[in-house]
Each structure stands twice: as structure tokens, then as C-alpha cells.
Structure 1
Amino acid sequence: MIYIRHTVILNMYPHCRTPHAARRGPAGRAECGQRPPACEARAGDCLSAHPSMQKKKTLQRRHIEAIVAVGDGRSVHRAARELGVPQPVLSRLLAEAETLVGARLFERSSHGSVPTAQGRLILPRARFALRTMERLNDLTTGDAPPIRLGCIPRAMHTLLPHLLERVYPDGGQAPLDKTGTGGAVVAAGADGDAKAQGRTPGGGTGTDGAGMRFEVREGNSVALFNSLAAGDLDFAILRGNVADPGDEWVIERLFDERTVIYCAAGHPDIPSGQVSLSRLAAMGWTLPEPGTTSRGAFDAFWAEHGLPPIKPLMETRSFEANLALVAASRLVSIAPESIVRRHVGFGVLRIVKVRRALPINPVMLAFHRMSLEDPLLGRFHAYVRDAARAR
């Protein structure tokens, strides 16, 4: 357990816990109830005389900043440059932090600094603690950092519009733009995931959610939970259950959604009636790439019915690409039912009626157990829950 305290000034006249009580002497010094010279001393001397009264050293903000900077930069040199301090100073802070923690946090070499097992355990907690401190400071400046939401693609379509309605009650006042000022922006991150940024009208901050800023990072469930655990996200909307999330994480069920098999509206080889899975197995497929939760669930479903694994002609990172491919070809794919039905309404796609439907999957909200202690994060959490009920 890591305890974080701000530096405080100790009372110069502490109460002794021994049978003799401290009192003020004629010279204004702290004297114990015993006769001198047994315990006549200044407060500092009395504190030294009673080790149980000494303040236990704990990690300070400067130590946490050093841990996070080295963890992010993977190099003491880069971390020192980022923090604007000499490298020897940062090395000393890191050494102090490791002494206080009682473990080595990084393996340092000419190639950089790599977190140890203990470092990997502490880094996300350090990031969370540092971000909490930043939020406390920002309460007085009116410029709170953005809330970071990770979101699977299907929720971007089905949940995010309802969330925007709640975060932006005056939607016309905060139009989408390309600058991130007064609106929401979607951009591609370095890893190819989509990101969106936005802020409520009027700027600023508040405990009621007014002036709330947020950014959305789109990705698959595994990557998003890893980002959440690393301290890079405040909330993550995921598909399915997370394996052994640990006691510090809360996983809430938002809603259930079924995945369906679909094809082009005029597909000549797939009848409008029920179709067997074995017949579909012989079709050409385009599927989400391996490693995604959707692909894993589909492969497991296929195997449960004793069918050979599908070898897709194409694999994509998003179901949006598959929607376009299927509409213009004889390929078959999978996607959330609510999204496919929209395209069915446009007359370009058709849901394939199968005798054995794919299972219903829950969409979950994950966050750190302490997050709701923050009023702004608590308000955002309420918005997400309300948006899920409204979908």
C-alpha cells in the first residue's frame, strides 16, 4: 500500500505518550513531567527521544512525478528533460522513491529503464494518484483535465450519441469542429485507434458536470482495459467480461447486445429463410481481426457447434469496413444487430436467419474503484449510465 501525504509542519510541542505529560517550561521550552535532566528538551529533541512519535516518511508528489515520468519515457534522461530537472536530481528522487517503497521499480541500463514486476504494479497507481492531485489543483484554476473514455466501436454508434446529448445539453452551442474548441474532434491516434475530444459549452469546471471536457479513444476491449489498468483512461466501455480484473476495478453491466450474421440485400446464394451454419461456413467471409473480443466470441461459437474454423478472405480492424465490403459483394460478416438493422432500413443489407443464433453479449463499463470519489468523474459516470438506459 502506498500512502501519499503533503508536507506538513509538525506541532512543535507534541504530547508525550509516556507516563509523564509534556508542559511548557518557564523559558517557553517543552518540558516533560519528569524532573530534569531526564527529559527537558525542545520539541524536536523530545520527538527524537520518542521514536514512536516520529512522522513516518512517505512518498511525496515529487516522487510520484518521478516514477510516472520514468515509466512513460522509459528513460531517466528523457524523464528529466520532460520534467525540466537535472538528471542527477531525478535519479535521486527515483532512488528515494524506491527506498520508501522498499523495492526496485526500474531496471536501468544503457538501453533505458524498464519497469520491474513491482514497478508494473505501482505505475498505474502512481498515475491515478498523480491525476487525482492534478484534479485537486485544477479545481482552483477552472481548467480540469479532460475525462478519458475508452470505447469499443459498437458503443461509438449505439451509446455515444446519447452520451453526447447529456454532456452537451445545448448541442447547437457545441458544434463538431476540427480544433477541439467548443466541440468534439475525432482523430486517428498513433496506434490507429480513433480518438475524439470535446468540451461542454462555456468551458471551465464544476462539480455538477458543467464545463466538462472529455476525450474518447476507440479500440478493442483488450487494448482498452490494458490502457485503463495502465492509468491512461478514466473509464472504458468494453464488450463482455474482463478476466480477473482485480479488486481495485469496478465492472458494471450497461446493456446487452446480440451479434448477427449479415449479407448484401440481394445476395443470390443466401435464401431469405433460415440457413444452416454449415452452409454459411462455405461462404466467403470478412471478419474482425484476431485478438478482438468480437472475433474471439465468434470463433468460440463456431467451435462449440463442431464446425471447422472460418478462414476469412479479409480481416479488418472495424466492423464499419465490413459493412461497406459486404454491401458491395457476396461476402458475409458479423456486426451488432442494432447497427446492421439501420443498414437493412437503407435497403443495402440483410440479416441472415440462422437456426442457432449467436449469443447475447453484455457491454460493460470499467473504472477504478476510487474514481467516483471525484465529483466530476462521478457526474460523468451518471451520464454514461443514463445514456445506456436511453439507447
Structure 2
Amino acid sequence: MDVELRHLRAFASVARCRSFSRAAEELLITQPALSRTIAQLEDRLSVRLLDRSSRHVELTATGAGFLVHAERVLATMDQALAAVSRRVSLRLGFSWLLPDPWAQRTISRFEESTGASVALVRTDDPLQALRQRGVDIALVRGDVDVPEGARVVPLADEPRVAVCSENCELARIGRLAWTDVHRWPLVVNTVSGTTGPWSWPADRRPDRIVKTANYDEWLETVAADRGIGIVPEVARRRTRHPALRFVPLTGAPPSPVGLVHFPDAPGALVRRFLEAAVAELPR
């Protein structure tokens, strides 16, 4: 017999609700579609499962017996799907410091709604990991060149702050204007940094650039007083380093943060994560 799970779910819902209209609402389908599905099931079984009237719906004796087996089948299938979901994960690539509390809330919402998990993949170059399909979604900061065919979901703009060594003169001055950054040696994370020579017009760029290849190198180079750094404000709240001082930066453009993915990545999981990500954005 060509009986499908949708037939069993429709029948179990009507039997539980004792109403086609309430069951249709529960299943998120129209009442005529639900009626057709029940009619198909009864036709394929060649039995009458429900007694219908204008006021109520009741199970026939055959329907009551069939319901026991249908609910057992559905419960077993739900258990099987849940077991598979717990073994499914979505890989989120990032280079440093996920935005908070957005990241934690997004991950919780996604995992609770899907049963899948999020694997956090720390990598110096999230976009390269995305190109190589080492991650499903990449969290990126700053203005970046995304891979061809990839899509970007903007999340927010993060304010910038300056950071310097405790021995730097800037620590004593206590504030810095964006237009004056060029007066200082600038330490740049060339792989995943959000600020570099490209952030200013050619005639306003810092004269001295100290290049590093990742966040840890950048942090320790600034701490060693090789130059100052510019970083999203999240670093001030999350970084504890005795040799560093964070300094207010006035007039700086914000740093964009977003999610990058390929449309052909595991569609349902990526879509559900993006929905959770947008839902957790500050209003």
C-alpha cells in the first residue's frame, strides 16, 4: 500500500484534535488539503477511519486501532530523525572573537530549533576555509573580497577603538582622532584585520606599516610597542593583556561584520542558521 508518513501525521493530528480545522492549523496546511490527505489514506486502506459530522470528528473502531500503530510508527521515526540531527553539525569559521552576545544567542537558538550542533572553526583566513569547503559559513569583519558566487548577509557595524602598548605615548595622551592615525606606526593584520592602509585615502595613509599574519601576532606586536593598532570595540571588552591600553578613537568609520556562505552549501542548515542570526540582531 502506498501509505506515506504525511498520511499518518495528518490522521494522528485529526484524531488528537478531533477537528479538521484545528489539525490543519497544527500542521500548517489548508483544511481542504488535510481532508484530501485523510481521504487518500482511507482510500488506500479501503477502510473508514473517521466519522465526520458538521460538529465533531470521532474515530471509528478501526480508526482507534489503527491510531495506536500509526503513533508508534511516528514516534519511532521522530526518534530516528532526532538521533541523526544530533550527529549533524554546521561549521562556522571565524578568525578571532565572535561578536557577543549575538554569537552565543544565535548558536543556542539554532541548536534548540534544529537539533543540530554548531562546530566553531578558528582559522586565520575564514574566507579561504570557505573556498576550500572547510566551513559552511564564514564570519568576516571589515570590507573583504568575497569568493565569486558567495553571498553576504550583513549583521552589524562595530565601532573601532585604538590600542597601544602601556609604554606608548598614545597611552598618556588618552585619545586619538581617525585623521591623526597616519602619524603613528600602524600594526596591521594582513589576513583578517579590519583596518589597514586601504582604510584611508592614499594621501592620508600611515607612513609606517608593521605587518602581521594573524590576531595573536598583531596583539603581541602592539604590546611590544612596535606601533599602534585599530580594532573593533569587542576587543577592548574581551582582551585582557597587561601590556596593552585601549584608547578612544574619534571620527572612525564603523567596521562591518557579516556572514558569508555559498548558496549550494547544506541548504536547510545554512538557511536555519542565517534565520537565527538575523533574529538575534539588536533591534
What TM-score, normalized to structure 1? 0.41
Quick check: 1:237 aligned with 2:180? no
CA distance in 2, matches of 1:241, 1:144: 35
Give the letter aligned to residue 152 of structure 1: S
Give the letter aligned to residue 233 of structure 1: V
Distance apart, 1:308 and its partner CA:
4.7
Counterpart of 1:385? 278
Quick check: 1:364 aligned with 2:258? yes
CA distance in 2, matches of 1:140, 1:209: 9
Query: Could you tell me which of 127, 151, 156 is aligned with 1:255?
Result: 156
Distance apart, 1:322 and its partner CA:
4.2
Give the letter aligned to residue 256 of structure 2: P
Aligned residues with identical type, % of pairs: 18
Counterpart of 1:160? 103
CA distance in 2, matches of 1:353, 1:377: 36
Distance apart, 1:255 and its partner CA:
1.0
Query: Could you tell me which of 188, 197, 212 is aligned with 1:315?
Result: 212
Q: 1:306 to 1:347 in 2, by over 3 A?
A: closer
CA distance in 2, matches of 1:273, 1:231: 42
CA distance in 2, matches of 1:315, 1:226: 17
Q: 1:164 to 1:338 in 2, by over 3 A?
A: same
Counterpart of 2:53? none
Distance apart, 1:216 and its partner CA:
1.7
Describe the superposition over 1:284-334 as per-residue Cα deviations: whole angstroms up to 9, x where unpaired.
54331x24352xx4211244443454232x62510x554455457574212
CA contact (8 A) 2:105 2:280 kept: yes
Describe the superposition over 1:333-377 as per-residue Cα deviations: whole angstroms up to 9, x where unpaired.
121113225569x996231445xx332222111223255742x44
Q: 1:329 to 1:265 in 2, by over 3 A?
A: same
Q: 1:348 to 1:227 in 2, by over 3 A?
A: closer
CA contact (8 A) 2:160 2:231 kept: yes
Q: 1:324 to 1:386 in 2, by over 3 A?
A: farther
Give the letter aligned to residue 212 of structure 2: E
Aligned Cα root-mean-square deviation (Å): 4.0
Distance apart, 1:256 and its partner CA:
1.0
Moved more, 228-237 or 250-259: 228-237
Q: 1:335 to 1:347 in 2, by over 3 A?
A: same
Counterpart of 1:15? none
Instruction: Tell me the SS of whatever aligns to 1:153.
Output: coil
Describe the superposition over 1:231-259 as per-residue Cα deviations: whole angstroms up to 9, x where unpaired.
3322111224554644x533111111133
Counterpart of 1:338? 234
CA distance in 2, matches of 1:225, 1:380: 18
Q: 1:342 to 1:234 in 2, by over 3 A?
A: closer
Pairing of 1:113-152 with structure 2 (within 5 A):
139=81, 142=84, 144-152=87-95
Counterpart of 2:114? 209
Q: 1:292 to 1:371 in 2, by over 3 A?
A: closer
Q: 1:274 to 1:256 in 2, by over 3 A?
A: closer
Distance apart, 1:149 and its partner CA:
1.2
Describe the superposition over 1:210-230 as per-residue Cα deviations: whole angstroms up to 9, x where unpaired.
2x222122235xx42333233
Segments of structure 1 that go 5 or more residues without pairing to the other structure are 1-137, 170-207
CA distance in 2, matches of 1:369, 1:333: 35
Give the letter aligned to residue 259 of structure 2: L
Give the letter aligned to residue 155 of structure 2: L
Query: Could you tell me which of 300, 317, 325 is aligned with 2:198?
Result: 300
Aligned length: 202
CA contact (8 A) 1:259 1:336 kept: yes
Q: 1:157 to 1:298 in 2, by over 3 A?
A: farther
CA contact (8 A) 2:161 2:246 kept: no
Give the letter aligned to residue 261 of structure 1: A
CA distance in 2, matches of 1:146, 1:159: 19
CA contact (8 A) 2:160 2:254 kept: yes
Structure number with the higher helix fraction is 2
Greater length-normalized contact order (CA 8 Å, ≥ 6 residues apart): 2
Instruction: Tell me the SS of whatever aligns to 2:93.
Output: strand
CA distance in 2, matches of 1:157, 1:316: 24
Segments of structure 2 that go 5 or more residues without pairing to the other structure are 1-79
Counterpart of 1:203? none
Distance apart, 1:281 and its partner CA:
4.2
Distance apart, 1:153 and its partner CA:
1.4
Instruction: Tell me the SS of whatever aligns to 2:196.
Output: helix
CA contact (8 A) 1:299 1:309 kept: no
CA contact (8 A) 1:263 1:332 kept: yes
Q: 1:228 to 1:307 in 2, by over 3 A?
A: closer
Counterpart of 1:349? 245
